[in-house]
Amino acid sequence: MLMRAFCCSAVLFLLIFGLAAPTEAGEPTDQMKLTIDKIIDILNDPALKDPTKAEERRTRMRHVANERFDWREMARRALAKHWTQRTEEEKKEFVPLFTDILEQAYLKRIENYSGDKVSYEGERVKGQYSIVKVRIFTDKQAEIPVAYKMQKKGQEWKIYDVSIEGVSLVKNYRQQFDSVILSSSYEGLVEKLKEKVAKN
């Protein structure tokens, strides 16, 4: 069902917030680094390491993630053709629900950050769109290629999709969501997502 997509999103944020190696880069990569630095500061803050500060720590990380991710655009692309069939009220309900699913998937895991290294492999910019490529070096000696697809909105580069080892996060969700909607209904998908959020 949706578990494969949920697992992918859990991996996604561990990859994003690794410790970046110094490198020359353009604006999209620079903005990614700013986000990474903020997250690392939160994780390393002694005042937030106490278990009683877990919720405050997660709230701060959630705020940083919200600055870089375009949740509405990700939700729109994940629903694809089903998005245009939704009313504005349904969209307003779906976007935060979709965001909650992603956030719940990674917040618990990112707190176990183990200092995995990230090497920036370069970026490609075409107009208002860019792709920032990185390679993750895990403590198990594995290398994981990741590509962040971003769109410039104002002065900010916002993430709208992430590909891990060539697999698109948005495409993965799109396939899962489409399957549920076709076999059940859009309302059935929303109920499944609500149940997932409630269990965490």
How many Å apart are CA 194 and CA 192, to the nearest integer? 5
Local confidence pLDDT in tens for the 200 residues of the chain: 554 444 444 445 544 444 444 444 589 999 988 887 787 788 788 898 888 988 898 889 889 989 999 999 999 999 999 999 999 999 999 999 999 888 776 565 555 555 667 788 889 999 999 999 888 776 777 788 889 899 999 999 999 998 888 888 899 999 999 999 999 999 999 999 999 888 87
Please state whether beta strands 117-126 and 19-20 pair in parallel, antiparallel, or not at all (unpaired): parallel
Residue 119, both tokens: 């090497």
- Residue 112's pLDDT is what? 54
Cα(29)–Cα(127) distance, rounded to whole angstroms?
15
**Pairing of the two strands 129-137 and 19-20:** unpaired
The tokens for 144 are 């994981």
Q: How far apart are CA 168 and CA 75, in angstroms?
A: 14
Tokens 């080892």 -> residue = 165
Check residue 19 and give its pLDDT: 42
Residue 162 pairs in a beta bridge with 148
This prediction's pTM: 0.79
User: For residue 155, what is the DSSP state?
Assistant: T
Contact 132, 42 (CB under 8 A): no
Q: Specify the pLDDT at position 190.
A: 97
Domains of the chain: 3-199 (3.10.450.710)
Would you state the pLDDT for residue 8? 47
Task: Identify the pLDDT of residue 38.
Answer: 85
Nearest in space to 83 (alpha carbons), one of 157, 181, 6: 181
